Amino acid sequence: MENNAAIKKNQGGDLLGWRIASYILIGVFTLTTIIPLVWLTYSSFKPHQEIILDPLGWPDAPTFHNYELAWKLGEFGILFGNSIFYSTVATVITVLLALMCGYAFAKFGFKITGFLYTFFLGGLLITVHSILVPLFVMESFVGIDDTRWGVLIPYVALGLPFQLFLATSYLKSIPDSLEEAALIDGTGYMGIFWRIVLPMSAPVMATMLIYCFLGNWNEFVLIMVLTSRQAVRSLPAGINAFAGTTARDYGVQFAALMYGTVPILIFYAAFSKQIKKGFAAGSLKE
Amino acid sequence: MAEVILKNICKVYDGGVKAVDNANIHINDKEFVVLVGPSGCGKSTTLRMVAGLEDITDGDLLIDGKRVNDEAPKDRDIAMVFQNYALYPHMTVYDNMAFGLKIRKYAKDEIETRVNEAARILDIEELLSRKPKALSGGQRQRVAVGRAIVRKPKVFLFDEPLSNLDAKLRVQMRAEISGLHAKLQATMIYVTHDQVEAMTMGDKIVVMKNGVIQQIGTPLKLYNEPINRFVAGFIGSPPMNILTAKIVEENGSIVVKGAGVSVVPGKEYEEGLKPYVGKEIFFGVRPEDLEEVRKVDPNNFITANVDVIEPLGAETHVWLSTAESTLIARTAPSSDFKVGDEISFTCNLSKIHFFEMENERSIFFKED
């Protein structure tokens, strides 16, 4: 008994040690993320000279001038519109295609299913950088370079493998008997997809939509390489332009960065519950 | 309602596994037929072939005289109740029950009338606005049955619908489904591995083993006249005692001899058993056909030692063993046996069974 108590006490001590260490680690990580964000936020209300003279200081007279200038110079109206368009359209198409393919992979045991699924998942191994040049050449050849289609199609193609993986894993867990019941009730396979599978996929669909949307919203490399006209570019490319053209005005540059950051912060705040669920989805079995 | 005929139905899966071999079943209009057998015997596969959820490899399936082998499930006018209920989790009970009718484009009023009527029959009216996750197992099963009823199909199919329920609820739902059959007067095919369900619910029972139909008949026919050793052991709870014995001729009489067993079966069996003199057979006697005796009758006794006593209140089951076999006797609750006691029983000679050693067929089975 005494031995057991001693062991328990010892284990409790170890646990407390680990807990303190992990809290310190999380604290350091949080601070390194939040401090630059806070600094960026209040600095965006300071004029360029004030930032140079007192980089860490609070703004003497906070101004929205940087925001006005950045919006005008960067044509953020267009960039916002494009970002929303690319993120929304590519996300909807990707998630819908992933769920449709996932349904086929999860429920139709054709001989070729295994090969096709592996083939699709192989897409996870492709890095964007490795296909940039051939993709650009292909798009130029087809004539869709520097167009919205030229951005949307690669977004969907590159988003599909992971989304398909999420969709297939989830759809496999839907009992076959539900599908069979619907067949007997008089539905065809398309009907089953729209009326049974899709509504039942709401939990995984939320995760898929969020991840896909965030990925598309933040995407930078493809939009930089595949587009050159401001009219078809999105926020990340537009913000990057400030680094070159107005490099000497940090205030305006920070305001531009805020235009890119704030929507994402709002998005995280609005969907934090689903995002957390998404993180846990892979680690827990219901 | 309709009659269902399975003619030489076979199901062979990829790789040559024969799940159902030459099944012939004639299910009359308004009949309640139970397919029963151990796991993997092909009963669910047979039902799924009737439903159209499995392709039929060979043979003909007729519903109401029409060959439906190649018809889609929705065109067979059948409804099915699944073991796991298969309720659509995102729909309310009302929508679950109305789903099939909506798909078939029934008028809204007609749908409402039918769903409410089914809900009334099944006593689930107050559950109509709930989602399946807010229901108990028994309620879910009622909804699943309700979903089948509203369609007013020609044939109802049940695939082990009570397996997921607890014992008490199972007994209750068993009676409810039987009552429903009486009320709806519908053709029903019911699959179960529980022989008690089969005995209590079926007008006719189909016993299957390894994809082959062993025997088709009324519950009492199967109980009293099993065609082979498998059916004898499968139907009945506790099961029939099967003892290895030898047929010998002593003083001009046929005698069944085994370890602790000596039974002179009597004149009615002599003719049939003569070809087996000198051979081993399986001797079968049901637990309730053994009667404990204080004085051993040399012409009719089984002597065994008590291993386990199971008092059930209304009766007592006594597990016994001879030198070669184990057996079980159903005795009065007042029996005062103790473990280790040596007890002798006589057999009810009008209810004994003999099975061939080679093919395990009943020696005295007569086809109707």
Cα distance between the two ends of chain A:
37
Distance (Å) from the alpha carbon of B152 to chain A's nearest alpha carbon: 12
Is A187's Cβ below 8 Å from some Cβ in B? yes
Q: Is the ipTM of this complex over 0.90?
A: no
What is the spatial distance between Cα A73 and Cα A243, in angstroms, rounded to a whole number? 13
Best residue in B47, B71, B80 for a mutation probing chain A (most A CBs within 10 Å): B80
Average pLDDT over residues A29-47: 93
* Structural domains of chain B, with CATH: 4-234 (3.40.50.300), 241-356 (2.40.50.140)
CA-based nearest residue in chain A for residue B148: A185
- Say if residue A258's pLDDT is above 80: yes
Q: Would you say how long chain A is, in residues?
A: 286
pLDDT attached to residue A196: 94
Q: Is-contact B97 B119, C-beta < 8 A? A: yes
Residue A201, helix vs strand vs coil: coil
Question: In this predicted model, which residue has the larger pLDDT, A72 or A95?
Answer: A95
Average pLDDT over residues A106-120: 90
* Span A169-188, pLDDT tens digits: 999 999 999 999 999 999 99
| Chain-chain contact of A177 with B86 (C-beta, under 8 angstroms) | yes
* pTM metric for this prediction: 0.82
Is A255's Cβ below 8 Å from some Cβ in B? no
| Residues from chain A contacting residue B81 (CB–CB below 8 Å) | none
pLDDT attached to residue A279: 61
- Say if residue B104's pLDDT is above 80: yes
| Residues from chain A contacting residue B53 (CB–CB below 8 Å) | 180, 183-184
- Nearest CB to A185; choose among B52, B53, B103: B103
Distance (Å) from the alpha carbon of B154 to chain A's nearest alpha carbon: 13
- Nearest CB to B88; choose among A180, A184, A196: A196
| Residues from chain A contacting residue B84 (CB–CB below 8 Å) | 175, 177
Helix H or strand E segment including A79: helix A76-107
Residue A61, helix vs strand vs coil: coil
Non-local (6+) Cβ contacts of B26 within 8 A are B3, B5, B6
pLDDT attached to residue A284: 40
Numbered residues of chain B with Cβ closer than 8 Å to any chain A Cβ: 51-53, 72-74, 78-80, 82-84, 86, 88-90, 99-100, 103-104, 147, 151
CA-based nearest residue in chain B for residue A182: B100
What is the spatial distance between Cα A177 and Cα A250, in angstroms, rounded to a whole number? 61
| Residues from chain A contacting residue B73 (CB–CB below 8 Å) | 180, 183-184
Computed over every residue of chain B, the mean pLDDT equals 93
Distance (Å) from the alpha carbon of B312 to chain A's nearest alpha carbon: 38
State the pLDDT confidence band at A86, using cuts at 50, 70 and 90: very high
